[in-house]
Amino acid sequence: MHQNTLAIQQNVSLAPFTTLRIGGPALYFAEIRTEDDLLDAIAFARKNGLPIFVLGGGSNLLVSDAGFEGLVLHMALNDAVTSVHDGGLVEYTVPAGADWNSFVLSVCQEGISGIECLAGIPGTVGGTPVQNVGAYGQEVAETITSVRALDLEATTFITLGREACGFAYRHSIFNTTDRGRYIVTAVTFRFDLARRPSLTYADLTRHFGHSEPTPLEIYHAVREIRHSKGMLIIEGEPDSRSAGSFFKNPIVTPEIFQYVASTAGLSPDQIPHWPAEGGRIKLAAAWLLERAGFVKGYAMGKAGISSRHTLALINRGNATAADIFALRNTIQQTVKTRFSIELEQEPVQLG
Ligand code: EPU
């Protein structure tokens, strides 16, 4: 029988655990350092009839002012990364609580390509499969081979292969069909050592021209681009009190795309757009916001829009969740009226 002593705290303010620095208290809160801690915490929640919430880096999270009347599990599993070499491939298994950017850096420093475009994304490794984190033409679905998780239905740890994870744009089974069923404890990534970085994204190809950059050079370039857009979390910078992109880039039918063009008085090729699954078209939410009047630096009370990226709603200082909700609702309603598009919130909402 395992003997574990898990400390459970009460009335812990969640704001400091989120990059938005917003949110009320958790009734109960536990630091999860091992898989045994996780089992103990689940047993506690069940015994007391408490809902649970899994907190990683808090970088994609909006907590309500009322907080959460349940048990927050702060995922701090952080034992060593293990690696397996197999011919021209290497696999790394990374604990859920590891800092994502540090892992990206260590892979790039070895000259390995596959996640260099995901540099500078805040948060923990365990959060990356949940929303299939992506940026600059890469997403974690390309390199993840399996995810280890606690299955709350059977109360056992299982390993899910990539296919079972059901990855799509900002989607996986973890945030859709099986939301709430699994708690990720480790993620395995596989890299092909012969793979050369491929740059698909305009911001990056422009940065490097025709040269062949190394993964580490791309790592630094991506961080620079993210910094210029206020998308690096830097303590004390107001533009970084955000949860990253606040809206998903909408994927629309060709008809809606035509409608957007005609109502904006533009030809379709004057509008930023990219091909998406099933003949549909991905639009830039930031562009829609700007056309609807929500530009960089826009302020509404203590909430606002980043001065460097339209898609990031920010806490301008002492904002509450209610301030962010008010701005969000205003933006959604205006964009809906103007373009007939319902923007979907990207960050997870708690409470
Ligand atoms: N744009 C504007 N105004 C802006 C910024 C962008 O009009 O202030 C338009 C431009 O047309 C630009 C296009 O939007 O070409 C795309 O902009 P950007 O490259 O900055 O990316 P994004 O679509 O705003 C997405 C992800 C980010 C990711 C970047 C880089 C989503 C919802 N967001 O943002 O992910 O870092 O691409 O690849 O998919 C996140 O999900 O939290 C996130 C930060």
Phi first, then psi: give them for residue 116, nearest 5 degrees: -60, -30
- What pLDDT is recorded for position 1? 54
- Report if residue 1 sits inside a domain: no
Q: Are residues 180 and 317 in the same domain?
A: no
| Residues 193, 271 within the same domain | no
Pick from 340, 323, 309: nearest CA to 62 = 323
29 domain residue, yes or no = yes
What does the pLDDT read at residue 272?
A: 97
Q: What are 160-194's pLDDT values in tens digits?
A: 999 999 999 999 999 999 999 999 999 999 999 99
179 located within any domain: yes
> Whose C-alpha lies nearest to ligand 1, atom 37?
135
What single string gives the DSSP state of each residue in 65-123? TT-EEEEEEEE------EEEEETTEEEEEEETTSBHHHHHHHHHHTT--SSGGGTT--S
Q: What is the pLDDT of residue 209?
A: 82
Q: Which of 228, 254, 284 is the last residue of a domain?
A: 228
What percentage of the chain reaches a pLDDT higher than 70?
A: 99
Please enumerate in sequence order all residues whose Cβ is within 8 A of that of 171, keeping only pairs 6 or more positions apart, or say none: 131, 132
Cβ distance 253 to 241 under 8 Å? no
**Domain endpoint, select from 228, 258, 290:** 228
| Same domain assignment for residues 59 and 90 | no
> Residue with structure tokens 């655990």?
17
Specify whether 217 is located in the same domain as 246.
Answer: no
Q: Are 249 and 299 found together in one domain?
A: yes
- Residues 116 and 139: their CA atoms lie apart, in Å, by 10
Q: Using CA positions, which residue lies closest to atom 23 of ligand 1?
A: 284
**14: CATH:** 3.30.43.10
Cβ(248) to ligand 1 under 6 A? yes
Q: Strand pairing partners for 275?
A: 281
The helix/strand/coil state of 350 is strand
Residue 221 belongs to domain with CATH number: 3.30.465.10
The answer to whether 291 and 314 are in contact (CB under 8 A) is no
In a domain, 19, yes or no: yes
243 with 224, same domain?
no
Phi, psi of 99 (to 5 degrees): -70, 125
Residue 156 and residue 68 share a domain: no
Q: List the CATH number of the domain containing 288.
A: 3.90.78.10
Residue 255 makes CB contacts below 8 A (sequence gap 6+) with none
pLDDT tens digits, 260-282: 999 999 999 999 999 998 999 99
How far does residue 284's CA lie from ligand 1's centre (Å)?
Answer: 7
- Judge if 91 and 17 occupy the same domain: no
249 close to ligand 1 (CB < 6 Angstrom): yes
Q: What is the pLDDT of residues 205-222, one digit of tens each?
A: 888 887 889 999 999 999
Question: Are 13 and 146 within one domain?
Answer: no
Catalytic residues: 170, 245, 346
Question: From atom 40 of ligand 1, which residue's Cα is the shortest distance away?
Answer: 245
Position 15 in a domain: yes
- Structural domain range at position 98: 82-228
CB-ligand 1 contact for 70 (6 Å cutoff)? no
Q: Which residues pair with 345 in a beta bridge?
A: 247
Q: Is any ligand 1 atom within 6 A of the Cβ of residue 136?
A: yes
Q: Is the CB of 244 under 6 A from ligand 1?
A: yes
Last residue of a domain, one of 56, 75, 94: 75
Over residues 93-99, mean pLDDT: 98
Closest Cα to atom 14 of ligand 1: 284
User: What distance in Å separates the CA atoms of residue 233 and residue 59, rounded to the nearest whole number?
Assistant: 9
Mean pLDDT of the chain: 96
Could you tell me if residue 169 is inside a domain?
A: yes
C-alpha 32/C-alpha 45 separation (Å) is 14
Judged against a pLDDT cut of 70, whether residue 78 lies above it is answered with yes
Q: Tell me: do 130 and 221 sit in the same domain.
A: yes
How would residue 2 be classed by pLDDT, with cut points 50, 70 and 90? low
Give me the pLDDT at residue 218, please.
Answer: 96
Tens digit of each residue's pLDDT (9 = 90 or more) over 27-73:
999 999 999 999 999 999 999 999 999 999 999 999 999 999 999 99
Long-range CB contacts for residues 235-240, cutoff 8 Å, separation at least 24: 238/314, 238/315, 238/316, 238/317, 239/306, 239/307, 239/308, 239/309, 239/312, 239/314, 240/19
Number of domains in the chain: 3
158 lies in some domain? yes
DSSP 208-249: HTTS---HHHHHHHHHHHHHHTT-S--TT-GGGSB-S-SBPP
Query: pLDDT-derived band of residue 203, with 50, 70 and 90 as boundaries?
Result: confident
For the CA of 60, the closest atom of ligand 1 is 42
Are 147 and 182 found together in one domain?
yes
Mutate to test the pocket of ligand 1, among 224, 226, 311 (most ligand atoms within 8 A of CB): 311
Output the pLDDT for position 330. Answer: 98
On whether residue 233 sits in a domain, the answer given is no
